[in-house]
Amino acid sequence: MSKPPKTRLETDEEFIGFDLGHGETALGRAYGATVREPEILEYRGQRSFVTAVAKDGKDIKIGADALSLSFASHKPDVWLKFKSRHLDAKTAEPITYFTQALIEGLSEEKTIRGPKKSRFVIGCPSGWDNITRDAYRKVFEQAGLDTVRIVPESRAALMTSLEQGYVSIEDTRASVLIIDIGSSTTDFTYCRDLDADDVGHNELGSGLLDDEIFKLNLSRQKSKKEIGKLIDAFPHYKSILTYWCRQAKEAYFTGEDIPVEMIKRLPAGKRVFFDIRMDKKDAKHILETSLEALNGYSWKDAFDYALKETIESLGGRAPDTVLLTGGASRLPLVLPATQKAFPNARVIRGAEPEFAIARGLAWLGRFEYLHANFKMETAALLAEDGEVHLRAQEKAQSLGGLIAPVLVDAMTEDCILPAFREWRSGAIASLDDVEGVLEEKVKTWLESEKARESLRPVIDNWFATLQRDVEAHTDPLCRAHGLPAMVLSLDGSEHVSRHLEGLSVSAPGMASLESDTALVGTGVSALLVSALLAKANLFAALFVNPIGIVVGGALLGGSYLFGRKAISGKMRKSKLPVFARQILSDARVKAAAKRQRPDLIKAVSKAWDEAAAERFSAELTNMLKRALVERADERAVLFLI
């Protein structure tokens, strides 16, 4: 009996965005082959849970379970707000316990695939350097996670805003100031033209407000003395009570100024209760009261000061967009204070800012996975045996046959006829001299704008055919990766034209031309100059001895006036009287050129095949490779750190 086929969830990569915060933790999850928004995972029924660990012997609990355990046990080891850039064995211990218990719990519940199969993208503050990030990554690897990537949280927040439509790619290429307000710190990151700059990192976290809410509520407890004795006996109680105050704060600020009241019983006491209340008056008090941790400044004043410091750090680099993220960005003073500090910027706070980083981390994991596969398959198309490479070679080889008739007709009008007119007028002494003049006229003409204008229509059609051939292979690749076909389109002049500038070093004035196909035409005509004119002996084949052809045809076989031998003998060197030269009229020269047109076209095609086709094919395929690879890279440049 055959095995049933694997489901997509079994074969598709799973990316877990792990936002380990000082106060709260959240997880986002995305799959590689889906385009839907990452989901926020629940742990023990909560989408956001307290970053806490309690260890009692070998028993380890995290989140809300850690708080219950710490009450049930007499003196457990309890850690809260343990995320740190100063990593050693001691500071890494709670991170390890927390990670192992969290991932084990989610794996047992079949919420995620597990530490070996899931790919983890973990956030860190933007101010952490590469050495700190590497040390942080090793902590999670030692905790048992096989695939770990550390990404600045500011980039994750930017990714979420981009994917949710709050900002555009153009916004991200301009200037964005990201303000991430967490429970312990507020980070300011300035991004411009794909580069990120940490412009502020301070200890202004919303956790300071939790402490103030605890003090405020403790001061009005009926059982204040009993609670104080319990805290003295069980020091970890204070952290638990502060966490309850944090819950009250979040419930109040995520609502609409609706008072919040919670009553909690302390198990170790005899009917000791902790009554927590939060209303508009309390909110005003905690935001405006002087805080010892802020050197006597209120949270409101300290935030205003942090904004001013950031403006100074920017040194005149005014952001076009300011992005607020982190759960504490919901505080009522944050949005108006930011708008006041940056009056000319668009200030954005998306929906559920507390989950922006977790979602963005998962999005980044999926994006990088898809992008790596996309680049690999794009490279396969561009390899020497790839379809795009082969089609480009074929088109380059066929170009000589397309441009030869245009060149022959244009050069007859613009070079051959003018040369014989000058000879007919006496300005050129002999027919031998006509050949030298004609050679110079052709060189000058090929380098002229008129030549490019003559070539442009055929080049337009040639390039359009090439584009259709290329996109017949790139469009399905884009669709298979959930991307619009335009991602690898050759239409955008920003992409193709900048690479066509390198198609031939002889091409003059390329930067001033605007359309892609015009630039292709310019490259071709310039290549003709450098390839066809680089060797003087090409002209003998190119014109098949043009003096003999033209004069012989114009003189009706040569014997009418001078005799055939005279055409290639003394006559070529003779300075004929002007009246005798008039027999070579424009009509006779045109008629002779018309009879010889097939031979001239073959000569030009042969010259292209022998002297230019191989070089042009190499430059064309290299140009396509640079343009398509850049297109494949364009979106990823923002997010690949």
One domain for residues 532 and 422: yes
Global pTM reads 0.67
CA atoms within 13 A on the CB side of 85: 15
Phi, psi for residue 257 in degrees, rounded to 5: 55, 30
560's CB contacts (< 8 A; 6+ apart) are none
Domain boundary among 382, 415, 447: 382
One domain for residues 498 and 622: yes
Residue 563 in domain: yes
Residue 65 in domain: yes
Report the domain count for the chain. 3
Q: How far apart are CA 122 and CA 218, in angstroms?
A: 36
Provide DSSP, 92-136: HHHHHHHHHHHHHHHHHTTSS--TTTSEEEEEE-TT--HHHHHHH
One domain for residues 22 and 78: yes
One domain for residues 370 and 423: no
Q: pLDDT tens across 567-593, in order?
A: 445 566 777 788 878 877 888 888 877
470's CB contacts (< 8 A; 6+ apart) are 388, 391, 392, 490, 624
One domain for residues 43 and 78: yes
Domain boundary among 259, 277, 294: 294
Q: pLDDT tens across 535-553, in order?
A: 333 334 333 344 444 444 4
- The single residue listed with the structure tokens 């079949």 is 110
Residue 223 in domain: yes
Phi, psi for residue 235 in degrees, rounded to 5: -55, -30
Mean pLDDT, 10 residues at a time, the chain of 641 residues = 42 89 91 85 91 87 78 70 86 94 94 95 88 95 96 88 84 86 85 76 82 92 88 82 87 80 77 89 90 88 92 88 89 91 92 91 88 84 88 85 86 86 88 78 80 81 85 82 69 46 30 32 46 40 40 37 42 74 82 79 79 78 78 57 40
Q: Look at residue 491 in the predicted model and tell me its pLDDT.
A: 63
Phi, psi for residue 54 in degrees, rounded to 5: -130, 130
Q: Which domain holds residue 239?
A: 207-294
One domain for residues 568 and 608: yes
- Give the CATH number of the domain where residue 39 resides: 3.30.420.40
Helix 207-219 vs helix 236-253: angle between axes, to the nearest 10 degrees? 100
Domain boundary among 247, 279, 294: 294
Angle at 328 between CA 322 and CA 334, to 5 degrees: 50
Q: How far apart are CA 183 and CA 334, in angstroms?
A: 14
